[in-house]
Amino acid sequence: METTLRFSLACLPHVASAAATAAALSIATPAAAYPVDCAILLCLAGGWPASAECAHARAVFIARITPWPVEPPLQIWNCPMRAVARRPAPVERLLDIAFRDTGGPMMSEAPALPLAPLPIVDQADIDISDPAYDFVRSIHVFQIEYRRHRSSDGDCNTWSTVREGTYGEQGDFSWARSTTARIPAASTFRPGTSCSDYYFRSVFVDWKDYEGTYGFEEVRY
Q: Residue 10: what pLDDT?
A: 33
Which is more confident, 53 or 137? 137
At 121 the pLDDT is 67
Amino acid letter for position 69: P
The residue ranges of every structural domain in the chain are 2-134, 136-220
Instruction: Check residues 4 and 168 and name the one with the higher pLDDT.
Output: 168
Q: What is the mean pLDDT of residues 123-132?
A: 87
For residue 141, what are the β-bridge partners? 165, 205
- pLDDT tens, 66-89? 988 999 999 999 887 764 334 444
Q: Rounded to an integer, what distance in angstroms lies between the CA atom of residue 52 and that of residue 55?
A: 5
